Amino acid sequence: MNELLIGLVGALITTNQPLAVSNLIQQNAGVSVTIVNTNDPAEKELAQLMAEDDAAVTEVDKWIQGNNAFAAQGAGESKEALNRRIRARLEPVRKDYEDFLRRYPDFARGHLAYGSFLNDIGEEDAAVAQYGKAAQLDPKNPAAWNQLANYYGEHGPVTNAFVDYTKAIDLNPAEPVYYQNLAAMVYLFRKDAEAFYGISEERVFDKALALYRKAVQLAPDNFPLATDYAQTYYGIRPLRTNDALGAWTNALQIAHDDNEREGVYLHLARIKIAAGRFAEARAHLNGVTNAAFADLKHRLEHNLAERENTATNTHAAGVFTNAPVVPTNASNPGP
């Protein structure tokens, strides 16, 4: 077994991922539309194996989070000891997958499930080999192409991700995750997208936004998706103010609680400050009462005050410049 401390422990303990796209797409494994025969012995065995997989990874994740909490207080076990415990917990799952695939070597969903397990424990190169085998055995399984695209989006070549996400969409055009993943890839790797699709940067933005809108249309109540879409507007210059406000307003309408709503208020305020709609921005900021947002609210209030002051001074200077000139000798203004 490869050193899991480099893989799972390293991935879960590290708080900053090296590539932004990783946070956007790694969790999006996609949904296979393959019709499953629940009476098939192989399917029954795979279902049990996947449940074993989920239980093991969930337990290990809890160990790591708990140990991180203890470590923050100066306690907790060493990384070496934790790593040994993790290896011991996950090794039986690996062996069960390998045994399963020895007995069912042409079972595409088995390779896909094993690849997901390997990806979860940080062995991404081994995982992509399993995804490739799954796609080879069952080229009509969209989840296999989505997983391959996830790998290429993080490790390259990015153009492979464009191709494979598109295959997943073609195979299951009703799955919003595939549109979201491709949208994120096109948006984040704009230069690659320009060259691959032969379009301008502005058209690349249009393409990414259209993909996001399709995902939102398919999953209209998905708040994280709605906010991902809305945040893309921050990278576009000049800012498409009305479109951005429309996206954030939609997110506000489907927010589940005050925490999500107040987070959206901050975004609406930020955009309206930039647009010079100061009264509306202040109204949004007044609606933010969560202490967790206090620092950001304060910064936006400071920015709002500065922008209002600048606007007031500019207006006053304009009024003064355009005012009629008063003669020097006011008592004798002339004829």
Angle at 22 between CA 54 and CA 91, to 5 degrees: 30
**pLDDT digits 0-9 by tens, 126-169:** 999 999 999 999 999 999 999 999 999 999 999 999 999 999 99
Average pLDDT over residues 267-282: 97
**pLDDT digits 0-9 by tens, 203-225:** 999 999 999 999 999 999 999 99
Closest CA to 126 of 103, 104, 101: 101
- Spatial contact of 327 and 333, defined as CB atoms under 8 Å apart: yes
Whether residue 275 is contained in a domain is answered as no
pLDDT confidence of 190, banded at 50, 70, 90? Answer: very high
Two tokens, residue 222: 């998905």
**pTM value?**
0.81
Among the residue ranges 68-72, 92-96, 163-167, 178-182, the one predicted with the least confidence is 68-72
The CA distances from residue 107 to 27, 46, 102, 181, 316, in Å, are 23, 10, 10, 26, 75
**pLDDT digits 0-9 by tens, 17-46:** 333 343 344 445 554 445 566 678 999 999
Determine if the peptide bond prior to 41 is cis (ω within 30°): no
CATH number of the domain that residue 135 is part of: 1.25.40.10
Whether residue 316 is contained in a domain is answered as no
Whether residue 91 is contained in a domain is answered as yes
Number of domains in the chain: 1
Range of the domain at 74: 1-148
Whether residue 36 is contained in a domain is answered as yes
**Higher local confidence (pLDDT), 15 or 80:** 80
- Spatial contact of 248 and 271, defined as CB atoms under 8 Å apart: yes
Whether residue 271 is contained in a domain is answered as no
